[in-house]
Amino acid sequence: MSDRLHAVSRGALLWLGNRKNAQLVISRVPLTRRVARRFVAGDRAEDATEAIRRLNAQGVDGVLNLLGEGVTTSADADAAAAEYVNAIAVAAGQVRTSITLKPSQLGLLFDAAGCAARLRQVAVQAAAVGLGLEVDMEQSSHVAATIETFLSAGLDPLPRLAIQACLHRSPSDLETLIDAGVRTRLVKGAYLEGPGVAIQQTGAISRRYGELSTLLLDRGADPAFATHDSALIDHVVGEARRLGRDKRDFEFQMLYGIRRDLQVELARAGFRVRAYVPFGPAWYPYLVRRLAERPANLRFFARALVGR
């Protein structure tokens, strides 16, 4: 698929993902829900933990990801924090996994101080049972508040923070985080952003991703590279070798249900690999973003819908 066609289809899918009417209709179709299980482990933390148990058996670690974002009340933010704590309790001692948090799910949009308090609450519980912690990065409009809240929350140890390669501001943000000793997870970016905010061409995004991955391998602490792109994976491996980094000095992260053969192949080659395992009933926006990221994902979904 050409860059232009991919950009158009990606934009259409992401627009559709934000339409509440479409979400209500599509998410109620039983066939769509069944196909979504390729990408979403289930509604409960127990479902995700069982999926991670199967991944662990193949040498792949997990990242628990509670779906849902953009809450607007303290009650909903408290409920999300409680669900994270429950997921930690379910997974503790059972599987090799970390857990990732969404700041907007913990109240970032209306109460940054409350969000920081909830981050600390979950971080204490994760540290008590030895689970690693990561923080997702959401829409560009949330980036500044996310970084500020992350750095001011007094978290110890610091979680790993995601940075989106497509955003124009990311090279500067990455320099700030490296200087602060923050571990980062580099992603391409899965949100619909305008040209004033983000790179639009897929090839240019990949080039930026390669540049930032080299920077992280050279100066970053325990970076994670979240990509399914074979060319970028080869770039990371080659740059790590050139810079004298060991295979265990960084990790690859991929999404549950996508390129499962590659996940196992990299793990067997001695690399650290994690699969990002989502769970929860709020799966529709997540599914749409996954379909928009790669043409291959959309082709798989279409074949599954027609039973091929």
Copy the structure tokens of residue 64: 């628990």
**201: enclosing H helix or E strand:** none
| Angle, CA 170 vertex, CA 164 and CA 175 arms, to 5° | 125
Catalytic residue among 118, 183, 185, 259: 185
Amino acid at 285: P
Count other Cβ atoms within 10 Å, centred on residue 85: 17
Half-sphere exposure of 20 (CA within 13 A, CB side): 0
Catalytic residue among 10, 61, 136, 229: 136
| Contact of 41 with 48, CB cutoff 8 Å | yes
| Contact of 52 with 276, CB cutoff 8 Å | no
| Residue 185 annotated among the catalytic residues of the structure | yes
Contacts of 244-250 with CB under 8 Å at 24 or more apart are 245/217, 247/271, 247/272, 248/272, 249/222, 250/216, 250/217, 250/222, 250/223, 250/224, 250/225
| C-alpha torsion sign, points 237, 166, 6, 32 | positive
Copy the structure tokens of residue 70: 């953009």
Give catalytic residues, as residue numbers: 136, 185
